[in-house]
Structure 1
Amino acid sequence: MHQLLPKGTGAMDRNLLTSLPQISKELKRDDRSLRNRVQSILLDNEFLETRVHTAFPDFPLIPNERCGLWYCNPSHFAQTSYFKSTDGHANQWDFSTRRLNFHLLPTLQEAGGVVIVDSTRRGKKIPDALSKTVPLWCAVLNSLMLESVGKKFNVNDVLFVPPETVPESERDQMAKKLPDLVEKLKILNVFDGTKTSRMLDGKLLRPFWVFPGSSLLQSCTDIFTGEQIQNKWEVSRDENIVPIILCTVSYQAQDGIDKRNGFTYVQGAADDHELWSHGLEANIFWSNIDKFKNLSGGDSELYEIVDKMVTQQNNNMQRSAQAGSLDKIMTGIDKVTSLLSLGEIHDNVTLSSEAIADLEKCYSTVIVLSETVHLDKDASQDNEMVKIFRLTSGSKKSSKNLRAMLPDISKTINNAIILQPIKPLLICCNTGKDMSIGVLLAVLCQNYDEVWDLLPEDVKPSVSKIVIRRHLTKLIAHLNGRNVNPSRATLNSINSFLM
């Protein structure tokens, strides 16, 4: 680099010029500091509560994981969704059979619509998850509903995208891909178009987009005073649709520029939180929301506060586990078959003898897939009921290690199934979405037919990728209140083990 500097440039000038990129990098880091991110999330939540919720008060809020969770008060929602932007990227349009989101259908039936909440980082007005992934999901389901009742239709009847965000040329390419995506779901035989059409009273799913400054919200507000001129947005009576409101809570802003609210605004501040949150999770953030709304001091003090919050949360879980409070350490337990249940166990817990005694009242065997769950000294003696395998949901390394551990895990579970216990087996991980789903999927493929009748011990089912996929989609549909999302690496390990 020095050779390109003007002749006569001094040593001090050289040092200054070479340090400029580092200075620029530090300034950008300051602009996206923890404090600025927290303040930006709070501002975006204010937009959601004051502008969006008031326009759609009857529609349940559905945060789109993971980013959307940071913007929604947990007391204001009961479900989440998982629509990934990667399924909407240009030339990668897809309908994910790992992320079916069918659990939203009963909610749409009951409430007549939902508001799905997400955000996006700088450069975009709407994330691909909302501008393309959800519209494709709607289009696939719409197509199968219309097909099931014998109605003729074209792509314009089922596929809707925001024209200011998705170019017409891309929309045309998405339309060409649609028949393949419809066939992809149809072949799995897990979606009943007739039943769903009846559930929704023959109405089609229709996405609408809202974001700061969107025309849909402007129609409810006086452009001069900012006052609400319409209590809520309503579907026209002549439109036979179920609206899905796709809400982007962040507004477009260049990094480090917008300082009008007393801090540097960060668009999509909650995205990829593990890179900036210092251990803070959305649930801890909302449990301490009053503290975050009344911040004082600098970033170093904020880091100290966050460290204390995270430590306190972990200590609370430890105490709950040691006291045997299962409702504090286990959540979302679902019955899958008469012999199999799926659960979620919190991170960083130590199971006491009392906790294991409580588990024994309900389950014959408990399989725990976690690197942060332990047995205390008293509980570890003569324990044959709780089996812990050191795997972490969401970890690519653990997903690969699962392949080597599956023979032992499978043997433990299969031996228990052969005994036909009165009480079911419980399989759990720290999320209830990845490792536990993978293991449960392997057990189903090895021991059950496709309608989940237990096979005789001497019958070995034929397993293929289609069979595995059918079991997975049936499992996802069965767990309609749980946002199931096993990673690709986990599924690869299951495929390798079974075939």
Structure 2
Amino acid sequence: MGDERILSIYKASRSIKKRENSLYNALCSIFDDSVFVAEIAQLWPELPLVANLRCGLWYSKRFHHNCYFKSTDGHTNNLSFNTSRLNLHLALLAGQKGGCIIVDSTRKGKRFPDSMSKTIPIWACVMNRAISNHKNRMRGSVSVVEGTTNNHKENTEQDLLSWDCSLHLPLWVPPAERMAIENHLEEWTKQLETSGADITPLLSILKKPLRPLWISQKSVIWLNEVPDHESWDFTPLILVSASSSNGYLQQRTASEFSWNYIPGAGDDEESWARGLSPTLFWNNAIELISSGPDQCNQKVADIVEKDRVYRAQRGHNAPQISIKSLKSFGNIDNSHSEEILLDLKSTDTRSGENLSRDDSKVCWLGSSNIAVCSTQLAVNAFDVDSILNCDQEAFSACLKDQEACMHLPIVNSKFDRFSLLRNLPSAVSFANSQLEKGKKLLVCCNTGEDISICVCLAILTSLFTVEGCFDDGKSFRETCITKLEMRQRLIYICKFAVNARPSRGNLKQVFSFLNRESNSCVS
């Protein structure tokens, strides 16, 4: 009798918790927080609004660009400057526009995610130091041009002296952690300088050093005293944490429906969004919010299915979305989104219509005759002769030679730790056969940001010289690839594919493949 009572109490508490963390609550919370983001954006309308992927992408209908700073790079005892996520395009954008506003959020009850508290400040400081070092080297190596005035030289030296290279952290970062970060700054700056990243364009575009500022819903802003961003002696990175830090499960009311507020509701979208993307949400936001908690799930299902059918009718990649119970995943925290999880191995929620302007680009990797993009764009093959499809779903490409299309169903390292490694020999062999005929190769995957990037990394490293010339792998067979060399190739790719987000697990598989291949060639 006692056990049954305990079980019934547990079921009741689980039912309440599921209802509190429902899809409707998440969407209402995002919509409510977006009002705050819009208000901050209006304070500096000239500055571009940038979403920190992926959570930040939910909090506004219109973003000018995306960036990718991971909170894990700013976690205590895991501090790092990651050269595979350099975000050079963000520094260029900030330099061109005089600054930018970056949006993100967190569920953990903190005012700011670690990506804003530490990762971005570290990045800004390292960038400033690298730029300053580069300017100093240029000043030391260039002889004084005849006719150069002393006044001009004094101004140049003054610019270098005023270039702020100090670390700017928020007040809540403890002194011990600040000291730990400062101890690594020189090391991280050298990593950036030896990575092969081209920061030369920043020298002319970035007139003032980068510096972060922090704004949350607790910040007090006097509207009649908002400074003009051009009046600052730095290039501002205004970090906006969209959610309230003390409103977890606080009951609120919208229209005739009440709902529970969830801070950072846009985080971990696979666990709650049911296939809904940020663009689909904002295209149907009023309808979804006004549908109420009882009808919201069905409305989302109808919207997602309608979008899938729309894409399928136009020949786009549009697999059926399946939903699994979290119980089948073992010991997973299933407190979110009514115990459902999207089957990521067969799910594609980023249609051509749902892509942002930056995601919709087909990225040509320099003069290599190789392009990378998402599967949706690859379906309607344009100016290419061959396609390497790394998505799980096959499609019929519009190519003259159907044999010039290879399908390798590669899954993410989270689901199969060796899927990419098993398929890389076939991928490189196919790429070699196409490139040696002078064909243009398109490599695609679900998002165009991870698996396809890693495949391109393996192809460029295996078949191209350091200078970027195709040589059928001759130079690769004569040497062993180090992590630094692979990192330099990845940075080269990210120069063109600015939204590249290769996962650590997939990069490890690429490195294993390259070392195995080079060792076999040497032996």
Question: TM-score per shorter chain, which class?
Answer: 0.7 to 0.9
How far, CA to CA, are the matches of 1:245 and 1:307 in structure 2? 36
User: What letter is aligned with 2:177?
Assistant: E
Q: Deviations over 1:346-392 (max 9, x none)?
A: 39x9x6xxx5xxx3x6212111111123339xx89982122111124
How far, CA to CA, are the matches of 2:18 and 2:415 in structure 1? 29
Does the Cα contact within 8 Å between 1:450 and 1:470 map onto a contact in 2? no
Match of 2:119 in 1: 133
Q: Deviations over 1:129-177 (max 9, x none)?
A: 01110000001001112222338889984211110x3122221221112
Report the CA distance between 1:400 and its aligned residue. Answer: 2.0
Q: Which structure 2 residues correspond to residues 148-297 of structure 1 after superposition, within 5 A? A: 148-150=134-136, 157-163=165-171, 165-192=172-199, 195-201=201-207, 203-215=208-220, 218-220=221-223, 229-230=224-225, 232-235=226-229, 237=231, 239-259=232-252, 262-296=258-292
Alignment partner of 1:406 is 2:411? no
How far, CA to CA, are the matches of 2:26 and 2:85 in structure 1? 29
How far, CA to CA, are the matches of 1:122 and 1:24 in structure 2? 21
Alignment partner of 1:24 is 2:13? yes
Q: Secondary structure at the match of 2:415?
A: helix
User: What letter is aligned with 1:208?
Assistant: L
Does the Cα contact within 8 Å between 1:185 and 1:191 map onto a contact in 2? no
Change (3 A) 1:428 1:322: closer
How far, CA to CA, are the matches of 2:416 and 2:175 in structure 1? 42
How far, CA to CA, are the matches of 1:430 and 1:184 in structure 2? 31
Identity value in percent: 28
Match of 1:108 among 74, 81, 94: 94
Change (3 A) 1:399 1:317: farther
Match of 2:435 among 414, 417, 420: 417
How far, CA to CA, are the matches of 1:467 and 1:101 in structure 2? 19
Match of 1:388 in 2: 407
How far, CA to CA, are the matches of 1:400 and 1:346 in structure 2? 25
Q: Deviations over 1:53-94 (max 9, x none)?
A: 121211111011000111121xx2231011000000011111
Match of 2:362 in 1: 333
Report the CA distance between 1:265 and its aligned residue. Answer: 0.6
User: What letter is aligned with 2:45?
Assistant: P
How far, CA to CA, are the matches of 2:246 and 2:473 in structure 1? 62
Match of 1:373 among 394, 397, 403: 394
How far, CA to CA, are the matches of 2:421 and 2:261 in structure 1? 44
How far, CA to CA, are the matches of 1:171 and 1:178 in structure 2? 11
How far, CA to CA, are the matches of 1:456 and 1:415 in structure 2? 9
Match of 1:478 in 2: 496
Change (3 A) 1:398 1:103: farther
The more displaced of 272-281 and 367-376 is: 367-376
Q: Secondary structure at the match of 1:80?
A: strand
How far, CA to CA, are the matches of 1:456 and 1:405 in structure 2? 19
Q: Secondary structure at the match of 1:391?
A: coil
Change (3 A) 1:28 1:187: same
User: What letter is aligned with 1:54?
Assistant: Q
How far, CA to CA, are the matches of 1:294 and 1:395 in structure 2? 39
Match of 1:70 in 2: 58
How far, CA to CA, are the matches of 2:435 and 2:163 in structure 1? 48
Change (3 A) 1:235 1:339: closer
How far, CA to CA, are the matches of 1:265 and 1:82 in structure 2? 26
Q: Secondary structure at the match of 2:112?
A: coil
Measured on the aligned residues, the alpha-carbon RMSD in Å equals 2.8
User: What letter is aligned with 1:316?
Assistant: Y
Change (3 A) 1:72 1:451: farther
Does the Cα contact within 8 Å between 2:103 and 2:241 map onto a contact in 1? yes
Q: Deviations over 1:105-134 (max 9, x none)?
A: 221122101000001114201000011100
Does the Cα contact within 8 Å between 1:253 and 1:266 map onto a contact in 2? no
Report the CA distance between 1:339 and its aligned residue. Answer: 1.6
Report the CA distance between 1:445 and its aligned residue. Answer: 0.6
Q: Which structure 2 residues correspond to residues 435-454 of structure 1 after superposition, within 5 A? A: 435-454=451-470
Match of 1:225 in 2: none
Match of 2:142 in 1: none
How far, CA to CA, are the matches of 1:84 and 1:256 in structure 2? 26
Alignment partner of 1:304 is 2:334? no
How far, CA to CA, are the matches of 1:382 and 1:475 in structure 2? 27
Does the Cα contact within 8 Å between 2:417 and 2:505 map onto a contact in 1? yes
How far, CA to CA, are the matches of 2:120 and 2:82 in structure 1? 11
User: What letter is aligned with 2:309?
Assistant: N
Q: Deviations over 1:242-273 (max 9, x none)?
A: 00000001011353334366321111111111
Does the Cα contact within 8 Å between 1:438 and 1:490 map onto a contact in 2? yes
**May I ask how many residue pairs the two structures share in their alignment?**
450
Alignment partner of 1:60 is 2:48? yes
- Structure 2 alignment gaps of length 5 or more: 137-156, 318-350, 516-523
Q: Secondary structure at the match of 1:285?
A: helix
Does the Cα contact within 8 Å between 2:392 and 2:408 map onto a contact in 1? yes
Q: Secondary structure at the match of 1:59?
A: coil
How far, CA to CA, are the matches of 1:487 and 1:428 in structure 2? 16
How far, CA to CA, are the matches of 2:54 and 2:164 in structure 1? 31
Q: What TM-score, normalized to structure 1?
A: 0.83
User: What letter is aligned with 1:248?
Assistant: S
